[in-house]
């Protein structure tokens, strides 16, 4: 009864509740110029509201209508103020949308009464990254009712996040700013389903058991809107306990849509989505980037990876985890590595099998798996597993290396009987790979460093031409895939040359090779000539490969077998698809091997359809280009073109040099040898017998299911050509 009485306001001869009184808009910033009475100083605010994002600015979202106050005019170094005319405070709350830099007193909005600042608010961003999204902020101004006030929006900050965004200032009897909402679950099932709306305001969510925070992450939670996807949190670890879920939400919003469940959300349609790649690894939900911890434990291959389980954009860095018996068919397991706490993210690293149990964390009969990763708050850390990577225990003396850097790569150096950690290192304002050594994976000593590499190092040895009798060389690379060949004595790397070499082009980053992998069999991919049997298998992140409208984002490249070839230009890496699950198209569909095209003055430009009704597929081709100017393929709308004169190969804006050479025989005629893998989000090309590799982001045309041979300007002879349909590696397909 008391609540109702307090809510009644007498107006004239009638009455109404506070909730019924309409909001009073102070400013909506929808005009071409600021409304009458608003005054500016400096240059940051211009003559009128901005129409959204300004030049050089990240995308601005969360404002209402078409305009807002945005002091990014001229960049972060512009300054000024924007001051309102006086207005009367007539409601309990004054609310507004705000974004931009978090510099109190410098990038802010102030409420001024009787010449004094009585309320102030600033933006949310105080470090690189962040978001230009505006969100509601509310001041309780009930004690100031009836007084005259002025608003001043201030930008007196230069440099990073030196600007402020404001929109839709409104007086109301309801709070608009988000408030903490808590919901309790008695955990008796495996998963907590979470509704997501990509582009919604980012919310901080916490899981608590009692007073302890056991999970904390950011999520674009679908609040009062239909979710466009469902993600999940694994909660088996809390079974039998009461789990508190906390999140700050807009006024009147709830967490009612979250639910406990025995299965994954959308389990029946999982891996059957429209753009789900058939033969490239993607996470069941969320974002992925760098492959981490690639290791074979004697029974299965482990693929860990940088992962945001709660959204399709980068953030919340966990380690995802999948296993495979054959590098074709993957089973996703639970989260491999959780961040220790919010802000202490699990960045990239590697894994090994401690075969000799040097660490003492297992036995010689059952050696432990050991991984190294970068804790963003602590340094290089170690964890170990005695159950095939299903659960992990942190070394209690972490970090084992503390420096300015990240992304540790572990390997065993057999001649010296010790472990090596190759890790990206920032030293004397330069970029290096540093090398540390250890006898037991616990205590590490600095050995040396080499300049000129950025992020995600990899280090391994390969026999020249697969023959140890020809000698063995070491390969050192970093995130961009460019590499040096040289010698490594367990402590220092000595390159054979100063200039790096390049194998991969296009959408390719942060590749790693498998540790402890068995010697591959001879069938490592369609069309291999003298198939090599190298001990290194590589997977990279196909960075920038996106899938519109899907609940997942980004993919890995197909696993490739690496070989170190003796060439006239010195040792060079080659790559060839390691394993593809395929069905050959019948010979009746492709009748052209041995056929010469363009002869006898027939058309100097041609198209020959090879196959139709394709989804994912591979093409292997050997073509003598003779006097043709170009030759290539139309791959479901993505044109792959070799320019014979320029000696380049190009697909959707990605180009690489062509040598028309073979690591097996450099005196072959001018012959084009290609292996192409086409999936729902990418085209991967292996040319010059694998000396050139390209990863290209390419969504196939929905109305085009064909592959066609293309040529211009002369004659070509097809020596060998085959197309294979690729079968899905996923269980539901």
- Phi and psi (nearest 5°) for 469? -65, -20
SS3 of residue 267 by DSSP: helix
Q: Do residues 155 and 79 lie in contact, with contact meaning Cβ atoms separated by under 8 Å? A: yes
Beta strands at 682-687 and 148-155: parallel, antiparallel or unpaired: unpaired
DSSP summary character for residue 170 = E
Distance in angstroms (rounded) separating the CA atoms of residues 564 and 255: 56
- Phi and psi (nearest 5°) for 20? -85, -15
Partner residues linked to 8 by β-bridges: 17
Indicate the helix (H) or strand (E) that contains 4: helix 2-7
DSSP summary character for residue 373 = E
Distance in angstroms (rounded) separating the CA atoms of residues 597 and 603: 9
Q: How big is the chain, counted in residues?
A: 733
417: Cβ contacts below 8 Å, ≥ 6 apart: none
How far is the CA of 93 from the CAs of 122, 166, 192, 346, 352, in angstroms?
A: 17, 17, 36, 41, 58
Distance in angstroms (rounded) separating the CA atoms of residues 614 and 238: 46
SS3 of residue 381 by DSSP: strand
| Residue whose C-alpha is closest to residue 151's, from 89, 102, 201 | 89
Cα dihedral angle (246, 250, 252, 255), rounded to 10 degrees? -30
Distance in angstroms (rounded) separating the CA atoms of residues 323 and 118: 59
Q: Do residues 717 and 621 lie in contact, with contact meaning Cβ atoms separated by under 8 Å? A: no
Preceding omega of 399 cis (within 30 degrees of 0) = yes
Q: In terms of C-beta density within 10 A (0-12 exposed, 13-18 middle, 19 or more buried), how is residue 338 classed?
A: middle
Q: Do residues 408 and 391 lie in contact, with contact meaning Cβ atoms separated by under 8 Å? A: no
Burial 553-582 (b: 16+ CB within 10 A, else e): bbbbbbbbbbbbbebeeebbbbbbbbbbbb
- Phi and psi (nearest 5°) for 468? -55, -25
Catalytic residue among 290, 425, 634, 688: 290
CA dihedral sign of residues 410, 350, 507, 606: positive
How far is the CA of 224 from the CAs of 193, 650, 730, in angstroms?
A: 16, 47, 34
Tell me whether residue 290 is one of the annotated catalytic residues: yes
Beta strands in 262-300 (DSSP E): 286-296
Q: Do residues 630 and 713 lie in contact, with contact meaning Cβ atoms separated by under 8 Å? A: yes
| Matching residue, tokens 């980053």 | 509
Q: Do residues 511 and 557 lie in contact, with contact meaning Cβ atoms separated by under 8 Å? A: yes
Classify the phi-psi angles of 525: left when phi > 0, otherwise alpha if psi is within -120 to 50, otherwise beta: left
How far is the first Cα of the chain from the last one, in angstroms, to the nearest whole number? 60
Please list the active-site residues.
Answer: 290
């Amino acid at each position: 009864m008391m609540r109702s009485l307090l809510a009644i306001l007498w107006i004239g001869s009638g009455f109404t509740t506070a909730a019924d009184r309409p909001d009073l808009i102070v400013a909506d910033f929808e005009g071409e110029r600021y409304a009458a009475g608003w005054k500016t100083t400096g240059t940051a605010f211009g003559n009128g509201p901005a129409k959204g994002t300004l030049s050089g600015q990240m995308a601005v979202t969360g404002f209402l209508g078409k305009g807002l106050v945005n002091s990014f005019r001229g960049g972060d170094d512009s300054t000024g103020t924007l001051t309102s005319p006086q207005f009367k405070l007539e409601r309990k709350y004054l609310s507004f949308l705000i974004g931009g830099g978090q510099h109190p007193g410098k990038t802010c909005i102030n409420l001024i009464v009787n010449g004094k600042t009585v309320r102030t608010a600033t933006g949310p961003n105080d470090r690189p990254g962040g978001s230009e999204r505006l969100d509601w902020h509310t001041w309780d101004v009930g004690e100031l009712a009836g007084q005259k006030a002025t608003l001043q929006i201030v930008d007196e900050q230069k440099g990073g996040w030196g600007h402020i965004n404001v929109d839709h200032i409104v007086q109301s009897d309801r709070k608009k700013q988000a408030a903490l909402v808590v919901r309790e679950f008695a955990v008796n099932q495996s998963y907590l389903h979470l509704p997501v709306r990509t582009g919604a305001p980012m919310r901080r969510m916490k899981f608590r058991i009692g007073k302890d925070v056991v999970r904390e992450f950011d999520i674009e939670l679908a609040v009062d809107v239909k979710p466009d996807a469902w993600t999940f949190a694994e909660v088996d670890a809390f079974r039998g306990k009461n789990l508190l879920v906390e999140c700050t939400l807009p006024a009147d919003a709830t967490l009612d849509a979250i639910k406990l469940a025995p299965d994954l959300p959308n389990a029946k349609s999982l891996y059957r989505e429209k753009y789900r790649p058939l033969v490239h690894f993607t996470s069941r939900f969320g974002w992925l980037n760098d492959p981490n911890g690639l290791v074979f434990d004697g029974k299965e291959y482990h693929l860990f990876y940088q992962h945001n389980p709660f959204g399709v954009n980068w953030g919340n860095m966990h380690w995802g985890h999948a296993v495979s018996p054959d590098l074709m068919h993957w089973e996703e397991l639970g989260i491999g590595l959780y961040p220790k706490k919010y802000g202490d993210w699990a960045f990239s690293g590697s894994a090994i099998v401690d075969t000799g149990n040097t660490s003492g964390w297992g036995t010689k009969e059952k050696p432990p798996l050991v991984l190294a990763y970068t804790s963003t708050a602590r340094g290089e850390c170690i964890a170990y597993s005695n159950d095939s990577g299903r659960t992990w225990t942190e070394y209690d003396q972490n970090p084992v290396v503390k420096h300015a850097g990240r992304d540790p790569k572990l390997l065993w150096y057999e001649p010296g009987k010790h472990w090596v950690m190759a890790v990206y290192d920032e030293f004397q304002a330069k970029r290096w790979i540093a090398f540390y050594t250890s006898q037991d994976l616990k205590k590490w000593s600095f050995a040396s460093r080499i300049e000129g590499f950025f992020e995600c190092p990899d280090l391994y040895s390969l026999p020249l031409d697969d023959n140890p009798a020809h000698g063995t060389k070491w390969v050192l690379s970093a995130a961009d895939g460019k590499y040096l060949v040289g010698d490594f004595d367990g402590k220092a790397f000595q390159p054979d040359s100063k200039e790096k070499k390049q194998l991969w082009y296009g959408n390719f980053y942060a590749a790693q090779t498998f540790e402890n992998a068995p010697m591959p069999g001879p069938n490592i991919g369609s069309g291999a000539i003298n198939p090599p049997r190298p001990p290194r298998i590589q997977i990279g992140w196909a960075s920038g490969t996106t899938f519109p409208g899907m609940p997942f984002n980004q993919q890995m490249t197909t696993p490739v077998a690496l070989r170190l070839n003796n060439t006239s230009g010195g040792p060079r890496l080659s790559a060839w698809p390691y394993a593809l699950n395929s069905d050959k198209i019948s010979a009746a569909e492709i009748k052209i091997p041995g056929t010469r095209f363009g002869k006898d003055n027939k058309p100097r430009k041609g198209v020959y359809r090879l196959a139709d009704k394709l989804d994912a597929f591979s093409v292997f081709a050997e073509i003598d280009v003779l006097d043709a100017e170009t030759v290539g393929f139309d791959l479901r709308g993505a044109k792959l073109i070799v320019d014979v004169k320029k000696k380049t190969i190009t697909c959707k804006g990605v180009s690489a040099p062509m040598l028309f050479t073979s690591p097996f025989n450099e005196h072959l005629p001018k012959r084009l040898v290609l292996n192409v893998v086409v999936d729902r989000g990418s085209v991967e090309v292996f040319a010059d017998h694998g000396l050139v590799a390209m990863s290209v982001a390419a969504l196939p045309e929905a109305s085009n299911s064909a592959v066609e041979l293309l040529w211009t300007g002369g004659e070509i002879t097809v020596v060998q050509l085959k197309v294979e349909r690729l079968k899905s590696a996923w269980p539901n397909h």
